[in-house]
Structure 1
Amino acid sequence: MHDRKRVTPADIPHLTFGCAILGTGGGGGVTSAALSASAALREHGDVPLVTLDELPQDGLVLPLGAIGAPTVSGEMLPSGREAALIRDTVEQTLGKPVVAVMASEIGGGNGVEPVALAASLGLPLLDADGMGRAFPEVQMVSMYVAGRDPGLVVMADVQGNVATLRPVDGLWSEALARAVCVAMGSTAIMADYVLTAGEMRGAVIEGTPSRAIALGRAVEGAADPVEALRAELGAVSLITGKLVDIERRTGGGFVRGSVVIEGIGECKGRLLRIEIQNENLVALEDGRVRASVPDLISIVDNQTAEAISTESLRYGMRVMVLAWPCAPLWRTSAGLRTAGPAAFGYDIDYIPVEECGEAASPVAAQGEKGARP
């Protein structure tokens, strides 16, 4: 049985499965992250999984994650030195010790890789993250929604370059970090919202690594993995079908595009289009919204229930699309301003996924957001 207080090698397959689901198509590939995490645990031992209450309240929590285009990060792997470079820079700059690592986002490889980073640094992993899912932009974290100052942003790349930024707010942290990321080859490891454990209180989504592991355990050995996953998530099924059209392009540190799924079986005759920006953003059917950010939309294999990332989508895949509610913080006015449909350039009102159904309002207009000022 999983010991919630430690992440062990036996937990990595479950964590990887769950993070891929919570990644909503993004967060970076999980395969290399799982290999990295397993190797780090074998070399350094299990990683303690701790709560905020278990940490020194004046010690720094280091949120770590990859920034950039998943299509690039899957081919240009980290060197393994980035986390130590970032930790050392943070401690030297702020004059306080780092007492724990936290996943900036629990989705995709960004939810798994922090296990390896924590193990290599000899630090515990905080049982929390800044999203409860994956989002593409730097300011789209719970710490920003909660009004915390972005403070110090430190980025390191595979070459060993280290950049330190002091943005005035979360929007500038995205603009500046994205520019540096592009200069670093469109992929880097980043720490932002480096806060003390006391400052993190009330500003993070707690329990998410544990939840990711629970998702993996829920489908293990299940007679119907997709139904087991749907039940564990409390998700609705938007469509079962095959991928018939995919459009993807990489630019500005993002993967953007759309995918069309044609219904099969009971869904025959239906078409669902999903808009993406690293993650699955909006699901549309007959011009109506079936689900949208900040709620979660995941495309999964209709037999194994394994999540399919946006960069791995291929014509002819048989899939099911699941959608389920986000963390309550994202449904606040500040949360919706930060990561609701309008934040991505969609002129639609947010409707909770559980209320969408066939009565969802039609899309008035939609567009692609430009660069942050």
Structure 2
Amino acid sequence: MREITADQLDDVARGAAILGTGGGGDPHIGRLLARASLGEHGPVRLTALDELPSDAAVLPVAMMGAPTVMVEKLPSVEQIGLAARTLADYLGRELTHVACAEAGGVNSLIPVAAAAQLGLPLVDGDGMGRAFPEIQMTLPTLHGVRATPMAIADEKGNRTVLDTVDNGWAERLARGATIEMGCSAMVSLYAMDGAQARESMVPATLTLCAELGRLVRSGGVAAVVDRLGGELLFTGKVVDVSRRTQAGFARGDAALSGMDGDAGSDLVLRFQNEHLVAERDGAVLASVPDLICTLDAETGEAITTESLRYGQRVAVIAAPADPRWHSAAGLELAGPRYFGYDIDPVGVPR
């Protein structure tokens, strides 16, 4: 895939929602914003990671905050490019490429809109290979790339630039600013040159999103599981959802009652924006950093944590994360113990 056009956005959004592991924001919002930008500015060119020149100026763009808030507090199209322009001005650099901070949900589509607005190519890759809830949880962090300076912009025109001592402090201070901005804001961060991007990012993410979207239309759940090299964990009906917006995150649990081959069993999903742990009858089946995704059992369409509802019939799948997440440093950054679960990570065989 060499460019993204308006007629490809539906498939990209479907695939992005899957890689979002329940989080990353509502892809429908991102699709609307991207469609508006593409309609005004035309298709966005894609650049493969291995085609990036070493001196490229790569700037990821994302939406930060609680997905439950993003559904009702929509950003303006103008806000998307504002964070990137603010950071570029602060750095005194001319941007050459836009990138995705994470794969999943709105944050695979927001960079499409930003690239169209700025007239720049978009890197076919991302910084996680999935979605995670906190700023420092990226592969660039593992490779020593600083999250700051970073720019934050809201829909009212407020802007700020943070320059922190490490990426953990970037999360803490940016989260506080985002809460004050109404629990959602646009951010631009992890400014990289081409060599750093090639080393630290996950390749071909947007191409994968588009492919997953096509597979949802043609093959449903089984085709998605096969493409991701994952496994079907559970099929059941949602019987309860406990969800709250706390400290800028959507936190909670979803309880499922088994259907078909899983009848008689129960599954609990625990999430913080994204699904973190899946427990069947009290036993952990899968956990971060691997992907845990909820799909409509019939259509294969992803269901985000903010849209889980009583009575939905869902298929819960798991898929392996980028292997770097299973390193000691990766597990310290985004393993189950970081989120407060006293368990060893339960991964999906690659």
By the TM > 0.5 criterion, same fold? yes
- Counterpart of 1:220 in 2: which secondary structure? helix
- Report the residue type matching 2:69 in the other structure: V
- Counterpart of 2:3 in structure 1 is 6
How far residue 153 of structure 1 moved from its aligned partner, in angstroms, is: 1.0
Would the aligned equivalents of 1:59 and 1:97 in 2 still touch at CA under 8 Å? no
> How far did 1:301 drift?
0.4
- 2:177 maps to a residue whose letter is V
Q: Which amino acid aligns with 1:114?
A: P
SS in structure 1 at match of 2:147: coil
Confirm whether residue 350 of structure 1 aligns to residue 338 of structure 2.
Answer: no
SS of 2:31's equivalent in the other structure is: helix
Distance in 2, matches of 1:199 and 1:314, equals 41
The two structures have a TM-score, normalised by structure 1, of 0.91
SS of match in other structure, 1:140: coil
Q: Whole-Å Cα distance in 2 between the matches of residues 262 and 231 of structure 1?
A: 24
Rounded to whole Å, the distance in 2 between the matches of 1:146 and 1:9 is 34
Which position in structure 1 is the counterpart of 2:279? 284
Q: Deviations over 1:186-218 (max 9, x none)?
A: 000011111222222311111111111111122
Choose which of 57, 61, 67 in structure 2 pairs with 1:60.
57
Which of 224, 231, 235 does residue 226 from structure 2 map onto?
231
Q: Residue 299 in 1 paired to residue 294 in 2?
A: yes
Instruction: Report the more deviating stretch, 239-248 or 51-60.
Output: 51-60
- 1:172 maps to which of 169, 172, 181: 169
In the alignment, residue 298 of structure 1 is paired with which amino acid? C
Query: How is 1:1-373 mapped onto 2 (pairs within 5 angstroms)?
Result: 4-222=1-219, 225-354=220-349
Q: CA deviation at 1:353?
A: 2.2
Q: Please give the alpha-carbon distance, in whole angstroms, between the structure 2 residues aligned to 1:94 and 1:7.
A: 28
Moved segments of 4+, more than 4 Å: none
Q: How many angstroms apart in 1 are the aligned matches of 2:53 and 2:204? A: 19
Shift of 1:57: 2.6
Partners of 1:153 and 1:123 lie apart in 2 by 19
Q: Distance in 2 between matches of 1:52 and 1:286?
A: 43
Give the residue type in structure 1 aligned to 2:204: G
Partner letter of residue 47 of structure 2? V
Q: CA RMSD in A?
A: 1.3
Q: Deviations over 1:63-110 (max 9, x none)?
A: 111110011111111122223322332222212111111111111111
Q: Distance in 1 between matches of 2:197 and 2:140?
A: 8
Residue aligned with 2:309, SS: coil
Q: What one-letter code is carried by the residue in structure 2 that aligns with 1:187?
A: S
**Are the equivalent residues in 2 in contact too, given 1:48–1:124 (CA < 8 A)?**
yes
Residue 220 to residue 286, structure 1, CA distance change in 2 (3 Å): closer
Partners of 1:59 and 1:96 within 8 A in 2: no
Q: Partners of 1:343 and 1:147 in 2: how far apart? A: 19
TM (normalized to structure 2)? 0.97
Report the Cα offset of residue 113 of structure 1: 1.8
Identity of aligned residues (%): 46
Moved more, 112-121 or 255-264: 112-121
Instruction: Figure out how many residues of one structure are paired with residues of the other and give that number.
Output: 350
- Quick one: distance in 1 between partners of 2:50 and 2:286? 35
Of the structure 1 ranges 130-139 and 346-355, higher mean CA displacement relative to structure 2 is found in 346-355
In the alignment, structure 1 segments of 5+ residues that lack a partner are 356-373
